[in-house]
Amino acid sequence: MYIEEIQLTNYRNYDHFSVSFDQSINVIIGENAQGKTNMMEAIYVLAFTKSHRTPRDKELIKWDREYGKIEGRVFRRNQSFPLEVVFSNKGKKAKFNHVEQKRLSEYIGAINVVMFAPEDLNLVKGSPQERRKFIDMEIGQTQPIYIYHLGQYQRILKERNALLKDLQRSQEPDPTMLRVYTDQLVEHASILLERRFIFLQKLRKWAQPIHEGISRGHETLNIDYDASVNVSEDMDSEKIRLELQNHFERFESKEIERGTTLVGPHRDDLLFYVNGKNVQTFGSQGQQRTTALSLKLAEIELIYEEVGEYPILLLDDVLSELDDYRQSHLLNTIQGKVQTFVTTTSVDGIDHETISKAEIFTVHNGQ
Ligand code: ATP
Ligand code: MG
C-alpha cells in the first residue's frame, strides 16, 4: 500500500498544500521548524485519526482557523481510494471513500502506518503507559475489533472506578452493582489479554532475528508480558476470564477499601531483555535504540503477515541518528517493498545510494 497524494488545509503550519509522493522513498528536507514533522504527523493522523505527539486534536488546526483538514489518496489492494479527516470545534470526522465512518474502529486500518521517531526511545525507557499504547495501537491497526473492546473496557473501567470511590466512602457498601461492572470488565479484559498474547508471540518471532541482525549477532532480545494478574500466554480468553473473575472476587473488599480497580490490562507492562538483562534498567543508549528499532522493523513484518501488504513507514529525524551499519540494515529490510518517508535537516547524514533513488522534497515555512 502507498499514499499517492496528500492535501492539507489549515493543518498546523500548512495553509493550502498538496503534494504527490513516490511509491518507494520520499526524503523531506528542511531546516528546523519548517513543517517536516507536521507532514509526517499528517500521514499518521490519516491512518489513526489522532496525532502521535498530542492527545489534543485542536492543536492540529492552524492557529486562528475554524477547522483543519487532511485529505489523502491511497493505493491498496489494486485500488485507489480517498481518505479524509477533518477537525473542528464540533469534533472530528473521518471519511473513507467519501463516506463518514461513525466509529473509529471502522475507519482505523484503512491504511497501516509505522512511525519511528526519536521519542520512540520511550518505548523502552519510558513509563508502562508508553508500552501499553504501543501494543494497543499496533494490534488495533490490524484488528478493528480490538479497538472496540479497548474502548468498552476503558468506559467500564471509568464507571467502575467511580463506583468504587462511592463504595469506599459508604458505611455499609453494597457490592451488587460493582459485580455487574466486574462481569463486563472481565469480558472485555479477557479478549484484550488474549489478543495481546497472540500479538506478543508474533512480535517476538519477528523482533528476535531482526535484533540479532542489527547487533551483528552479539545480542539476543527477549520480550515478556508483565501481567498484573496471574495469567500467562498459553491461556485462551476463557481461561483468562476465569482467572480474572477469580481475582476480582478475592480482592473485592480490598478494591473497595482502595477505591479503584487494582488489576487489568490497564496496569500491565512489557519487559525487554537484551542478553538476559532488562534493557530498560541496564541497557546502554545504543542498546535501547536498537531495541526500539527492532520492534518497529518487526511491526512492519507483522503487519505484512496480518494484512498481506506492507505498511507505510515514517522515519522522522531518525535515519541520520543511526550509524552506517544500522542505517543500511534498515534500508535493506525495507528495500523496494515499503513506501518510506524520511525527514532530515540535511542530506549529508543519509547514505548516497538512498538519496539517489529517492524523491526529494524541500519544505520551507509550510510550502
Ligand atoms: P525540526 O527540524 O525542528 O523537527 P520541523 O520541520 O519538523 O522542525 P514542525 O514540527 O513540522 O517542524 O513544525 C513547524 C512549525 O509549525 C513550527 O514552527 C510550529 O510552531 C508550527 N506549528 C505547530 N502547530 C501549529 C498550528 N496549530 N498552527 C500553526 N503553526 C503551527
Ligand atoms: Mg521535526
Residue 350's pLDDT is 86
CB atoms within 10 A of CB 167: 20
Give the type of residue at 364: H
Give the DSSP per-residue string, 228-262: SSS--TT--HHHHHHHHHHHHHHTHHHHHHHTS--
Distance, CA of 172 to CA of 123 (rounded, Å): 44
Nearest-atom index, ligand 1, CA of 34:
6
Nearest-atom index, ligand 1, CA of 61:
27
Sheet holding 359-362, edge to edge: 113-116, 312-316, 340-344, 25-29, 359-362
Residue 159's pLDDT is 98
Ligand 1 center to residue 280 CA distance, Å? 31
The CB of 10 under 6 Å from ligand 1? The reply is no
Q: At a CB cut-off of 8 Å and minimum separation 6, what does 151 contact?
A: 104, 105
Residue 345's pLDDT is 93
Secondary-structure class of domain 150-294 per CATH: mainly alpha
Taking the model in full, what pTM does it have? Answer: 0.93
Nearest to 290 by CA among 177, 196, 213, 344: 213
Give the type of residue at 261: T
Nearest-atom index, ligand 1, CA of 39:
11
Give the type of residue at 13: N
Look up the CATH number of domain 1-112+309-367.
3.40.50.300
SS3 278: strand
The residue whose CA is least distant from atom 11 of ligand 1 is 35
354 marked as part of a ligand binding site:
no
Q: At a CB cut-off of 8 Å and minimum separation 6, what does 109 contact?
A: 140, 141, 142, 143, 144
The answer to whether residues 286 and 292 touch, using CB atoms and an 8 Å cutoff, is no
Residue 365, by phi and psi: left (phi above 0), alpha (psi -120 to 50) or beta? left
Sign of the C-alpha dihedral computed for residues 45, 210, 215 and 331 taken in this order: negative
| ipTM, 2 dp | 0.99
The residue whose CA is least distant from atom 17 of ligand 1 is 33
Give the type of residue at 266: H
User: Where do the structural domains in the chain lie, given as residue ranges?
Assistant: 1-112+309-367, 150-294
Residue 320's pLDDT is 80
What is the DSSP code (8-state) at residue 61?
B
Residue 1's pLDDT is 96
Distance, CA of 339 to CA of 352 (rounded, Å): 18
End-to-end CA distance of the chain: 26
Return the C-alpha cell found at 309: 501488504
The CB of 68 under 6 Å from ligand 1? The reply is no
Residue 165's pLDDT is 97
Give the type of residue at 275: N
**Torsion of Cα atoms, 270 then 276 then 279 then 285, to 10°:** -150
The residue whose CA is least distant from atom 9 of ligand 1 is 35
How do strand 2-11 and strand 67-76 relate by DSSP bridges? antiparallel
Return the C-alpha cell found at 125: 525507557
CB atoms within 10 A of CB 34: 20
Q: What is the pLDDT along the chain (367 residues), one digit of tens a residue?
A: 999 999 999 999 999 999 999 999 999 999 999 999 999 999 999 999 999 999 999 999 999 999 999 999 999 999 999 999 999 999 999 999 999 999 888 899 999 999 999 889 999 999 999 999 999 999 999 999 999 999 999 999 999 999 999 999 999 999 999 999 999 999 999 999 999 999 999 999 999 999 999 999 999 999 999 999 999 999 999 999 999 999 999 999 999 999 999 999 999 999 999 999 999 999 998 899 999 999 999 999 999 999 999 999 999 998 887 888 888 888 888 878 999 999 999 988 888 888 888 999 999 999 9
Ligand 2 center to residue 317 CA distance, Å? 7
Report how far apart, in Å, the C-alpha atoms of 173 and of each of 162, 164, 185, 196 are: 14, 9, 20, 34
Sign of the C-alpha dihedral computed for residues 103, 109, 111 and 117 taken in this order: positive
